Amino acid sequence: MERLRARLVAVRYLLATAWPIVLITAIGLIVAYQFVEPEPPRQMTISTGSEAGAYYAYAQRYAPLLAEKGITLEVMTSAGSLENLQRLESGEADIAFVQGGIVPPADDPESTRLRSLGSVSYEPVWVFYGGAEPIDKLYQLAGQRVAVGEEGSGIRGLALQLLAANDIPAQSRNLLPMASLAAAEALQQGEIDATFVVAAQEAPVVQVLLRSPGLSVVSFSQADAYLRLFPFLSKIVLPQGVVDLVRDVPPQDTVLLATTANVVVRDDLHPALANLLLQAMTEVNGKGGFFQHAGEFPAYKDHSLVLSDDARRYYESGPPFLQRYLPFWLAVLVERLFVMALPLIMLSLPLLKLAPAIYNWRVRSKVFRCYGDLKFLENDLRHHYDPLRHQDYVARLDRIEDDASTRSIPLAFTDLLYTLREHINLVREKLHRLETTDDKEKEE
């Protein structure tokens, strides 16, 4: 029973020492939790374009790659980039494809919630025209009937910018709001003089117009000037005969302008999902193509929007370390735990080093209180001894000894009590000597 009581005393001291450490650690845990990202959602929505467009095709290829990681990608069709941006801003979509140059430059790009994950491909700007007179400058289209795309489409926004730079105002009656397929048919039938098409080389409408007799493509002789005026544009070349070697289509190298297809998200997209999407973009869009080299995309080419911090880290160092070697959800769990564990470890190590000293101090302080009373009594005897108060001195000494005997401390520190009792006896002997000396003086 005594051994059990002694162990309980040790446990009590241990708990008394541990609770401040536990409290500080708990506070650290609460603070660290504020910096832990919540678990990523298992579903995302992407706004693309028409089902016949490249955006929709890219999204359909992203979906199975994300599904392998347990993420469902819902693909939404749209009328174009402007509608995609509206869906992003309203929260209707988490991700959207946006044509380069659609977002007007802002005075403070950081103020917007939209972020770019980078460009995934070039989007050539084709300007098809009919007639025998060659055209290599857009101002030559002044006064002609030109299809510039439907209202709200990315094609229209870009075409109007380029034409405005050539003193052809957007309000001109000759600029017709026609979709690409309708405009292609009208151009073949001679109902219009030219049409803008922004699409990949393999797009059906492009292939049809390239092979249509009597139609040509504008080769931009001022391409370098456009690149200075519109930084989101690039210059690409359609080589002679690449469409049809036998018929030599096109008959000479054709210089084209190209915008980019960009993946845009809101700034609150979960970092783990952003990295997963970037990996899918690399898998789908990182291969070589008609106008691009292998590994050229994804890349940050259109600076109209601020590059996401997650994308910047991805382009600098690749996927997160854990996602390279662990299954996605396990990597996410470990990353979340690490954010919490690291500060706790940094906080706990010094506290654990202090714990033995605190424990030792708490136990010894119980004994040192008795030493304090004993020291006061000894000083009183040495400097202010009064024979008339002898019984009071004895009573104080007895109280100190009783207090020391009833102190409950762990067995490992019992030697402190025995040492204290020895010192009490030394003071008791000194008190006895003072009493004896006083009696002798009285007898003399």
Torsion sign over Cα 21, 26, 32, 37: positive
How far is it, in rounded angstroms, from Cα 404 to Cα 413?
13
Query: Letter for the amino acid at 240?
Result: Q
> Do residues 198 and 125 make contact, with C-beta atoms less than 8 angstroms apart?
yes
| CA 61 and chain centroid, separation | 24
C-alpha distances (whole Å) from 50 to each of 20, 205, 401, 409 are: 63, 14, 94, 81
> Do residues 129 and 117 make contact, with C-beta atoms less than 8 angstroms apart?
no
Closest CA to 354 of 70, 25, 120: 25
- What is the reported pLDDT for 68? 92
> Do residues 130 and 185 make contact, with C-beta atoms less than 8 angstroms apart?
no
> Does the model's pTM come out above 0.75?
no
Per-residue pLDDT for the chain (444 aa), expressed as one digit of tens each? Answer: 545 554 555 555 555 556 666 666 667 666 665 565 667 889 999 999 888 788 998 999 999 999 999 999 999 998 888 889 999 999 999 999 999 888 776 656 666 889 999 999 999 999 999 988 899 999 999 999 999 988 877 788 899 999 999 999 989 999 999 988 899 999 999 999 999 999 888 788 888 999 899 999 999 999 999 999 998 899 999 999 888 898 888 888 999 999 999 999 999 898 889 999 999 999 999 988 888 888 899 999 988 889 999 999 999 998 887 788 888 777 776 776 676 666 667 666 776 676 677 767 777 777 777 778 888 878 887 888 787 887 888 888 888 888 877 777 776 777 777 787 888 888 788 877 877 776 666 565
φ/ψ (deg, to 5) at 391: -65, -30
> Do residues 145 and 174 make contact, with C-beta atoms less than 8 angstroms apart?
yes
